[in-house]
Structures are given as C-alpha cells and as structure tokens.
Structure 1
Amino acid sequence: MQFQILRDEEGTKADFLDLLENFKPALKEIRTATNQESINEFIVKQVPYTLSAGELESIWK
C-alpha cells in the first residue's frame, strides 16, 4: 500500500524513508536475520529508488 501511494503521489526516496519511520516499531518486533533479509529484498524490489546498504540498515534502527 505504501509503495502504491508513493507511485501515485510521485514520492521521493526521502518521502519513502519518512514513511518507514511509522513502521519501525513493528519491524523491530519481527526482526530476525532471516526476516530482515527477506524484508530488505522485498523493499528493494518494490521501491523505484536505489537504496544504499546504510539506508536499508537505518530501517532497522
């Protein structure tokens, strides 16, 4: 859903990272090495931006 909103509204990478702030608590609750890797792969496939390793890691902090 968030990905579609970004596409519809022509959101930027900064907009995407700001939206993820709302999800950080939920992501931290489900964090395991396997989940984190899978979620990162999903995000990279969905967003129309290139995310650095640091940007992906910041999602989990």
Structure 2
Amino acid sequence: MKGFKELASEREELIVASGETVIASGKSVKTTSIIISFAAVLIGLLLALVTANLITTPLF
C-alpha cells in the first residue's frame, strides 16, 4: 500500500508539472494571437487607405 501511495504522489507531481506547462503555453499562444490580430487590423487599415486614395485620384 505504501508503494502505491508513493507512485500516486509521483504521478500527481508529474500531472501538476504538465498542467503548469500547458498553462504557460496557453498564455504564450494568447499573447501571440493578440499581436497577430492587431498587426492584421493595422495592415487592413493601411491597405484600405491606400486603395481609397488610388480610387479617388484621377488617372490623367
């Protein structure tokens, strides 16, 4: 019975460590997603402004 408790304790530590790794990875993915989304919005706005200026200026 004592060996079972030790084994369960070791597994619990491994699961907790794995959980902390997953949480850290999730935070990293969240930050990266926010940065990429912000960059995509800025690029979209820039392209919209350039396109609007090209459309409104006369060719000749």
TM-score (norm 2): 0.27
Computing the radius of gyration from Cα coordinates, the structure with the larger value is 2
TM-score (norm 1): 0.27
Larger RCO (CA under 8 A, 6+ residues apart): 1
